[in-house]
């Protein structure tokens, strides 16, 4: 065991110290502390043939948010030191001011800036934070007039599932808890921060207010390209259940499904998306967005992504056999609402007409938990945040391992950019 520590583990940790132990200085006792942890943490590490390994290699059970971690310091010894503030157009605004490019999430709603760009006009905006594992270090005196390399940043991801502040119609009013939303005039909608593409998922909605004459709701599931300035169920990318007469909608076509619902009712929304193969596949990485443009808005940075053409996307949609959406009211199943959904990633979606108000419950505890079909392993949609963090971690690991940044020509960046050997 000692030989394995000396030959394999200690040299590895020493070589990649800056990556594994970000912002921590080496102490003389780090080797003994490491070996003690490997031996004592039997629930995580195993010893076999004098070698250490993981007890459970499934990242979904040992994900990055299983244990509370300290937030990486936003100030102090950072890889980015800038003497010029670069505007969205890339031009310097002040040659004398010294500005930290790392956008902090202080003074925000659940970590998201209160002033932010909305997803609209075919563009999507993903909040970015500094990537502590980036191999690029720069002395930014020569950065004036140049765009910031997107490799320096990574997508910021909400640690919990909430109603999205940017993926919504701007006229909707979202409460500070980001679980309650109120409508305004015509039908428009809001999606949750996280979506799912396989498995069986569930969330609840409590109807708070329908007192305004003519107010109504259409609630269900939506893909990310479904239009926000329309009710859920308007196009091929969303499916909904309406408060009036209990009608279900898809592609703007309604059909009778059940009785309607009203103030005080607790609604349940289950989606079942079969796994692509015969068995559950390993978690796949998500896009890193490091190839997208990085823009600055109100002192925060965002990746800007252009949506693919909705018409072309809809033409290529294919039904997924065995997929289902089931609706519940006050814990009672109302039956299968939709079957053989179009394949894609689906988000919880709320659309409101006039000043209707609802409060969502993404789990893990539910007010009116129903009896689910025995053949389904149902997860609360709140668990999607954990899955997303794991997939993002895998994506970043692959990017830093496979990145060819070291072989890029110096013409792409200023001559004083330095690339570390840790990639």
Residues 6+ apart with CB under 8 A from 164: 190, 191, 192, 193
Residue 173 pairs in a beta bridge with 182
Burial of 158-183, coded b for 16+ CB within 10 Å and e otherwise, reads bebbbbbbbbbbeebebeeebbbbbb
pLDDT at residue 282 greater than cutoff 80: no
**Higher pLDDT pick, 73 / 191:** 191
Give the up-direction half-sphere exposure of residue 125: CA atoms within 13 A in the CB hemisphere.
21
**Higher pLDDT pick, 152 / 197:** 197
Taking a C-beta distance cutoff of 8 angstroms, is the pair 226, 232 a contact?
Answer: yes
- Alpha-carbon distance values, 396 to 197, 287, 389 (Å): 20, 9, 11
Mean pLDDT value across the chain? 78
* Range with lowest mean pLDDT among 68-72, 173-177, 232-236: 68-72
Q: What is the mean pLDDT of residues 338-346?
A: 95
- Which backbone phi and psi does 141 adopt, to 5 degrees? -60, -30
Taking a C-beta distance cutoff of 8 angstroms, is the pair 423, 406 a contact?
Answer: yes
Instruction: Please write down the HEC assignment for all residues of 367-389.
Output: CCCCCCCCCCCEEEHHHHHHHHH
364 cis-preceded (ω within 30 degrees of 0): yes
Q: What pLDDT digit, counting tens, does each position of 203-226 carry?
A: 999 999 998 888 999 999 999 999
Rounded CA gap, 162 and 350, in Å?
12
Q: How confident is the model at residue 411 (pLDDT cuts 50, 70, 90)?
A: very low
Residue 111, by phi and psi: left (phi above 0), alpha (psi -120 to 50) or beta?
Answer: left
Q: How confident is the model at residue 237 (pLDDT cuts 50, 70, 90)?
A: very high
Domain ranges (residues) in the chain: 2-54, 163-287+310-386
Q: What pLDDT digit, counting tens, does each position of 59-100 carry?
A: 556 655 554 433 333 333 344 333 333 333 333 333 333 333
**Higher pLDDT pick, 70 / 12:** 12
Taking a C-beta distance cutoff of 8 angstroms, is the pair 218, 233 a contact?
Answer: yes
pLDDT at 193: 93
Helix residue ranges per DSSP H, 324-417: 384-402
Domain 163-287+310-386 sits in CATH at: 2.60.120.920
Q: What is the mean pLDDT of residues 169-198?
A: 93
pLDDT at 226: 92
pLDDT at 300: 86
pLDDT at residue 141 greater than cutoff 90: no
% of the chain surpassing 90 pLDDT: 38
Between the CA atoms of 204, 345, 123 and 72, what dihedral angle is there, to the nearest 10 degrees?
A: 80
Residues 6+ apart with CB under 8 A from 84: 92, 93, 94, 95, 97, 99, 140, 141, 143, 144
């Amino acid at each position: 065991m000692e030989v394995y520590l000396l030959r394999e583990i200690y040299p590895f940790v020493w070589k990649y110290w800056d990556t594994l132990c970000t912002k921590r200085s080496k102490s003389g006792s780090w080797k003994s502390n490491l070996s003690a942890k490997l031996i004592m943490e039997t629930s995580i590490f195993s010893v076999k043939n004098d070698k250490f390994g993981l007890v459970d290699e499934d990242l979904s059970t040992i994900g990055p948010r299983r244990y509370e971690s300290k937030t990486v310091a936003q100030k102090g010894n950072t890889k980015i030191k800038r003497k010029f503030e670069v505007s969205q157009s890339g031009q310097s605004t002040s040659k004398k001011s010294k500005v930290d490019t790392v956008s902090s999430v202080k003074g925000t709603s659940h970590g998201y800036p209160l002033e932010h760009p909305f997803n609209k006009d075919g563009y999507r905006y993903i909040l970015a934070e500094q990537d502590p594992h980036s191999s690029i270090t720069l002395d930014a005196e020569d950065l004036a007039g140049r765009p910031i390399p997107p490799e320096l940043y990574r997508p910021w991801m909400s640690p919990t599932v909430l109603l999205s502040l940017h993926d919504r119609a701007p006229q909707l009013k979202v409460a500070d808890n980001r679980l309650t939303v109120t409508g305004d005039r015509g039908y428009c909608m809001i999606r949750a921060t996280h979506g799912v593409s396989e498995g069986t998922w569930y969330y609840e909605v409590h109807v708070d207010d329908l007192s305004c004459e003519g107010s109504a709701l259409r609630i269900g599931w939506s893909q990310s390209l479904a239009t926000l300035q329309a009710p859920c169920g308007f196009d091929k990318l969303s499916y909904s259940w309406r408060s009036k007469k209990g009608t279900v909608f898809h592609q703007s076509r309604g059909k009778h499904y059940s009785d309607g619902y009203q103030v005080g009712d607790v609604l349940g929304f289950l989606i079942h998306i079969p796994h692509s193969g015969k068995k559950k596949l390993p978690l796949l990485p998500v896009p890193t967005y490091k190839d997208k443009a990085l823009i600055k808005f109100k002192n925060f940075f965002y990746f800007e992504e252009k949506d693919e053409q909705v018409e072309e996307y809809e033409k290529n949609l294919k039904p997924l056999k065995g997929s289902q959406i089931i609706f519940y009211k006050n814990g009672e199943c109302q039956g299968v609402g939709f079957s053989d959904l179009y394949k894609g990633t689906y988000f919880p979606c709320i659309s409101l007409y006039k000043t209707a108000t609802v409060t969502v419950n993404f789990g893990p505890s539910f007010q009116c938990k129903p009896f689910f079909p025995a053949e389904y392993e149902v997860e609360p949609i709140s668990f999607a945040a954990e899955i997303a963090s794991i997939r993002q971690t895998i994506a970043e690991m692959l990017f830093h391992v496979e990145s060819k940044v070291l072989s890029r020509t110096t013409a792409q960046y200023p001559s004083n950019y330095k690339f570390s050997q840790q990639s």
